[in-house]
Amino acid sequence: MAWIFLTIAGFCEIGAVLALKKAEGFKRLVPSISFIIVGMMSFYFLSLALTEIPMGTAYAIWTGIGSAGSVLLGMLLFKESKSVIRMLLLSFIIIGVVGLKITS
């Protein structure tokens, strides 16, 4: 279950970043509240995952899921750059996350 909790925490992290973007510096109420709720959920599921997964591994995977997902959403929803170098660097994050999972 710990790996499922960690995955949920990572996806909640993506949701929190998306809500934070939409909150426009906490000027919009609903996205601001969404950020707080989803961010708390992210930390809650991360805390559950930490009961079985080593801290360094869990944190790296959690941030990796959040980082990679945020970059992908930025490209898809906010028309951020899809340059070759960004895609290459994004693949390094994904490779690192998968590698940590395989070796844990």
For the chain, what is the domain count? 1
Q: What confidence score (pLDDT) does residue 38 get?
A: 98
Q: In which band, very low, low, confident or very high, does the pLDDT at 27 lie, cut at 50, 70 and 90? A: very high
Average pLDDT over all residues of the chain: 96
Which amino acid, 18?
A: L
Per-residue model confidence as pLDDT tens digits over 51-70: 999 999 999 999 999 999 99
Start-end of H helices in the chain: 2-22, 29-49, 55-77, 84-103
Q: In which band, very low, low, confident or very high, does the pLDDT at 39 lie, cut at 50, 70 and 90? A: very high
Whether 104 shows a pLDDT value over 90: the answer reads no
Range of the domain at 83: 2-103
